[in-house]
Amino acid sequence: MTDAVWENITNHFTEEEAVSLLAKLVSFPSHEGISQQETEAATFIYEFFRKEGIDTELIPVLDGRCNVIARLKGDGDGRNLLFTGHTDTVPPYDMKGNPYEARIDQGKMYGRGVVDMKAGLVCMMLAMAAIKRAGVTLSGDLIFAGVIDEEAKSEGTRAFLRSGELPDAAIVSEPSNLQICIGHRGLEWFEFTFYGKTVHGGRQKEGINAIQKAMMFIHELEAELIPAIEKRTNPVVGSSSMNYGYIRGGTQPSTVAGDCILQIDRRWIPGEKFTQIKEEYQKVLDRLSASDPNFKADFKVMDISYMDDDYIHEALDTSAEEDIVRIAETAVEAVMGKGGALTSFPAWTDGGLINYYGKVPTIILGPGELGSAHSADEHIEISALVPAVSIYCRIACEYCS
């Protein structure tokens, strides 16, 4: 990109416009429990692109909830790049005041969804608009996908993948503090149910205590499986992990527990196979059942996590040698004055689906710190917005050229 072209593009977006768009997008509640959850936010994005003269459409996905897709057409001779992020948020939980009224204080904007991840969406919207306003024609298509349901079952990204119109590379604008994330762990939530026999506590020997059976299982995991899991490492992502998140059993102290439920979070590195992960847990259950005729248990992917079309929350694994990574490094260095560090993203993203199932080289690159996401004081530094727009513009102009 020549200096003249770049100066022309930068003249077509401002921090003030980014702040205004972000405040407006935050004003649309888009969490679970809202009728048609993300569609009001998606409609706002749709109208923005329509006014900019960029081809756009609302795509119904589920129960009146819509993805918003926009396309800045190239002349047909270049590679296609996807800008994507989710339009849903988590609920406000314990946020004080009006969580949908963006508040600015000491250079930060506060509000639900402001960093996770409506700021990333706004910066991508403005980058596409700035390229269009500047009259720059790309060779390949620049595509925007604002998708539903990432905080649950990723219905939006799964629908986009099923459409079959896959790009040559993708950027997910989750808050990475403008670091380039080329990997993250896969994620699934499992629920184990242990079965016992309920009797009065005064006759406990006649019962079978499901809590005790759960304890046996946990002991086996601690002794063998968890140490093995934690030894599995990836040079970018780090180690695999497992967390006990929830346990409930029985009804009251003087009754032998007839059932016990244990829920865990299992995160795996690229290269681990989901079928093998399930087999490892099944082998522990089988071993305990063989040694104790009263041990009965089963497990499944939790309903809240289960995707009914056989998708799972797979890991992201993009090679540092991919063109999209190299171009992103150059763009970050040009805008920030220092090279973009290649790292992993600490949470799961839709990028795992795009990369694993779509076979699309994908990076996570967005403004803001992940640390305040989902919290009572969710915020973003306003000073991060213009650099993010600039980086997206540079990547698009180089990759789609």
Check if 150 is active-site. Answer: yes
* 194/235 Cα distance (integer angstroms): 37
Cβ proximity of 185 and 236 under 8 Å: no
Cis, bond preceding 307 (omega within 30 deg of 0): no
Cα(384)–Cα(312) distance, integer angstroms: 32
Tokens coding 343:
């790292």
Q: Give the whole-angstrom CA distance, residue 50 versus residue 44.
A: 10
Q: For residue 318, is it left (φ>0), alpha (ψ between -120 and 50) or beta?
A: beta
The active-site residue out of 88, 116, 174, 329 is 88
Q: Is 3 a residue of the active site? A: no
In this structure, are residues 386 and 121 in contact, taking their beta carbons and an 8 Å threshold? no
In the chain, the amino acid numbered 79 is R
Task: Provide the 3-class DSSP secondary structure of residue 350.
Answer: coil
Among residues 150, 174, 317, 350, which one is catalytic? Answer: 150
- Which residues, at least 6 apart from 287, have a Cβ–Cβ distance to it below 8 Å? 220
d(CA 49, CA 258): 57
- Using an 8 Å Cβ cutoff, are 370 and 346 in contact? yes
| Residues tagged active-site | 88, 150
